[in-house]
Structure 1
């Protein structure tokens, strides 16, 4: 599939394949608004009579020497499955591929992300169904996110190859993805030997990946209700299971010569979490030879891309190549450190950190509530989700309260249009009911778990769908953004510190990070996609409001661009399930 601007590259790719294997399909409206989906639907519609499967490859791909042989063997092994033959080096599916390489697998089940569509095989009936599905959503989402939704909603098994059978060869992005930096495979070996296509890895529960310079982690939450994924940093995940990774970082991180310290730390932390998870979860492949040893070349390449993928948004291809070898050494050190940490005997119940509190939480049965609940637990608290408010002790106060703090999230939805969200935090042990209650003004909460109809959410949602950012209010109106992780930090600190005697006024948690709507739109364009900005009256000349004091023990606030990036990821892969079918 191609565009007239890249017809020559597409023809070269078709000519490199066995005779008749590939045909060029052109964008049906090359002068229109750039749309990968429009061209993809033409390609999926072009399936020949009698064909059982359709392969679609984008014009900027390099195919492995054994591409077609492995593809045919995989189809024979998994005739009803969607097969992605490529995964990006900084993606969740790329993280799954790395675990597959560590386990000796040839395919891994696709995870909660877009389904890679740059080189993909679908069974005939699946391809036909996607054409009908996509034609009703031409102006909604990119083709890879729509493909993920379509496969998931229809229960179609989906797998990603280990290693990749194709590599991305950047010719410039017509669809507007050039701002993301180099986009390479998690693991590409041109001479990969075909065979063992039945060795598959599935059921992954923790996915560490290095992206946008941050060691991140997606963790599967299996219930109650449908399976879903929580999004957090690797450090937060490790702290929640009782591992203090910063105490384990070896000298190789501090002594990295060419690699920036932040890149070295992020690479090592991601690798540590990978090694720890792989040892603790004991990943096993399905298939007759599921116990086969990992392929050394595949494993080495898969691990060598951890660091490069995590810094690809900020460095050129040449600079990444200079850092690759040293980042690979750091990755290997992190993997071994993680495995060693997981192998150490661990107490049945790890000791609670100093300041741990028993916290009851009301209103946690929402995506945002789940993230706050998990955040408090990861910070060492004993957290209990309640369906209704607990009864206070007897009036004589002789009975010990069941909880040190009661947190009410029922006024927090993450979708407020005016930044008016409130939560209350009560310490039952205080002498009077009023003395122990804090009313917390949390401003414009954003991040994983937050709805898409808030003032910040509307902008992120539009950018995800490549639509203009429409500013309905004055561009100079003030927002008070507060990331979900920072909200959990503040609530944790306040739960540890009982309020003084006497009723407390409302506490504003987000006053220290104000920005205008125009500034927020600029940050969204940087974090998600550089789409146009429409509307917004010129900002009035008004002084920037003074920042209030931060909550006690507050950590360094989440960087706004990174925080918006995490919000966009969650909306695209999890929040989309809660949206109307658009």
Structure 2
């Protein structure tokens, strides 16, 4: 399904690595991980000034190698998958006109869910939110678009600092389509952030073994459209699911409200899941039934229910996407379902529910979430009017008994 005229041999990828001398990293290791691609290190041009990723990004996006068809900018806390060069070149050949993120942060408000949704639906591509910041840890563009982005960034004051927000604004204004690779080809090494207010732990959303072959990326582009319809702020039923502070939450995107893409305001799943097509009783009944079938002791009850609910809602969303696909898509790979759930367990369970989890308890929690995903993926769809809460008389049914 590679686009006509594009094969991997046609891709000439330029690579730069953004670096600040305050960060103690083995740059040569990143350069080696890129080979046979030739990566060049771009240094912060004013390292003693107030920290600003944007300042270095301006240089990185302007440093396009001569003759390149595409340009990739990595940050110096990136960790690349095995066989990185072959995988990324094959991915580009399949979507040569797109902006491609090779990573999304496991707790980003929207893009993490969209990556999990694509993984569970079985797609190698996750269309990203047009409103949330672009995952700048590892992002690439066609060379001409990258040069235009460099010109766009140049006059923006360094004090703005956030290159990811400015890249998102550029892509939104220019109509650049954005995708994330699934699984991700880059992880965050988890180094301390250099910018105030950007703390916490940061890792990839779907970090799974590398794809087995170049054909992994070759799915019908119309599938991208079906997934993109879940995050375009055009319909009342667009939503994302999050696990944060050991709670499963739902955020309705609410088109036309002007809410920022990074808005943290969410609703507790048990109170609002009716709006996304499932009753809380169904979720909890399935949870109890699953626990009854377990051969050993169940995981910690409250946190386990939250992971179960998140997995159940994720599978429900992926099933809806698969029903709407214009062409069939192969089933999801179990390892990617587990990767999507494990990043929820590791990022979303906090306090005694998370940091205190031993290896066996963590595995049991991931098993639980993956089981919930699988169950709801194969769940029979209910009457959509009932799911939406439409009264029987309003949907034309005979209410006489």
**Bin of the TM-score, shorter chain as denominator length:** 0.7 to 0.9
Contact persistence 1:253–1:268 (CA under 8 A): no
**Deviation per residue, 1:40-85 (Å, 9 max, x gap):** 2211111112212111111112111232112212222222211000
1:5 alignment partner, SS class: coil
Counterpart of 1:176 in structure 2 is 196
Residue 110 of structure 1 is matched in structure 2 by: 128
Within-5 A mapping of 1:193-232: 193=212, 194-199=214-219, 200=224, 201-204=227-230, 205-221=238-254, 232=266
**Offset of 1:277 from its aligned partner?**
2.3
Q: Would you say how many aligned residue pairs link Structure 1 and Structure 2? A: 350
| Distance of 2:147 and 2:328 partners within structure 1 | 33
Q: Kindly indicate whether the alpha-carbon contact (under 8 Å) linking 2:72 and 2:138 is maintained by their aligned counterparts in 1.
A: yes
Helix, strand or coil at the partner of 2:134:
coil
- Which residue number in structure 1 is paired with residue 75 of structure 2? 58
Q: How much has 1:6 moved relative to structure 2? A: 3.0
Secondary structure at the aligned position of 2:51 is classed as coil
Superposed displacement of residue 113, structure 1: 1.6
Asked whether the equivalents of residues 31 and 39 of structure 2 are also in contact (C-alpha less than 8 Å), the reply is yes
1:26 is matched with which residue? 43
Larger relative contact order (CA 8 Å, sep ≥ 6): 2
- 1:498 aligned residue: none
Q: For 1:10, which of 7, 24, 27 is the aligned residue? A: 27
Contact 1:308 1:320 in 2 (8 A): no
CA distance in 2, matches of 1:54, 1:277: 33
Does the 8 Å contact 1:276/1:342 carry over to 2? no
From the superposition, tell whether residues 240 and 10 of structure 1 become closer, same or farther in structure 2 (CA, over 3 Å): same
| Structure 2 contact 346–354 (Cα < 8 Å) conserved | no
Which residue of 1 is the match for residue 147 of structure 2? 128
Instruction: Show structure 2 runs of 5+ residues with no match.
Output: 1-17, 231-237, 392-401
2:399 match: none
Cα distance in 2 for partners of 1:131, 1:269 equals 43
1:308-319 pair list within 5 angstroms: 308-311=346-349, 319=357
Compute the TM-score of the two structures, normalised by the length of structure 2.
Answer: 0.75
Q: CA 1:196–1:175 in structure 2 vs 1: closer, same or farther (change >3 Å)? A: same
- The gaps in structure 1 that reach 5 residues or longer are 353-582
Q: 2:275 aligns with which of 216, 232, 240?
A: 240
Of the structure 1 ranges 93-102 and 299-308, higher mean CA displacement relative to structure 2 is found in 299-308
Over 3 Å counting, the alpha-carbon distance change for 1:316 and 1:144 in structure 2 is farther
CA shift for structure 1 position 305: 2.1
Cα gap change, 1:340 to 1:248, in 2 (>3 Å): farther
Contact 2:133 2:167 in 1 (8 A): yes
Structure 1 position 165, deviation (Å): 0.2
How far apart, CA to CA, are the structure 1 residues paired with 2:31 and 2:361? 34
Q: Which residue of 2 aligns with 1:326?
A: 364
**Which residue of 76, 79, 104 corresponds with 2:96?**
79
Conservation of the 8 A alpha-carbon contact between 1:3 and 1:30: yes
Cα deviation per residue 1:329-371 (whole Å; 9 max; x = unaligned)?
221243255456663446557476xxxxxxxxxxxxxxxxxxx
- Which of 149, 162, 177 does residue 169 from structure 2 map onto? 149
Aligned with residue 270 of structure 1, among 307, 310, 319: 310
Deviation per CA, 1:544-566: give whole Å up to 9, x if none: xxxxxxxxxxxxxxxxxxxxxxx
Q: Is the 8 A contact 1:82 1:123 kept in 2?
A: yes
Distance change (3 Å), C-alpha of 1:310 and 1:7: closer
Alpha-carbon separation, structure 2, partners of 1:229 and 1:186: 16
Give, in whole Å, the separation in 1 of the partners of 2:153 and 2:304. Answer: 41
- Tell me the equivalent position of 2:14: none
Structure that is richer in helix per residue: 2
Cross-structure match for 2:3? none
Within-5 A mapping of 1:149-548: 149-176=169-196, 179-180=199-200, 182-193=201-212, 194-199=214-219, 200=224, 201-204=227-230, 205-221=238-254, 232-233=266-267, 234-240=269-275, 243-246=278-281, 248-249=283-284, 250-251=287-288, 261-282=301-322, 290-311=328-349, 319=357, 323-336=361-374, 338-339=376-377, 343-345=381-383, 348=386, 350=389
Report the counterpart of residue 475 of structure 1 in structure 2. none
1: distance between equivalents of 2:307 and 2:354? 18
- Equivalent residue of 2:22, what SS? helix
CA distance in structure 1 between the aligned counterparts of 2:325 and 2:24, rounded to whole angstroms: 41
Contact 1:220 1:229 in 2 (8 A): no
Q: How large is the RMSD of aligned CA atoms in angstroms?
A: 3.5
Greater Cα radius of gyration, structure 1 or 2 = 1
What is the TM-score normalised by the length of structure 1?
A: 0.53
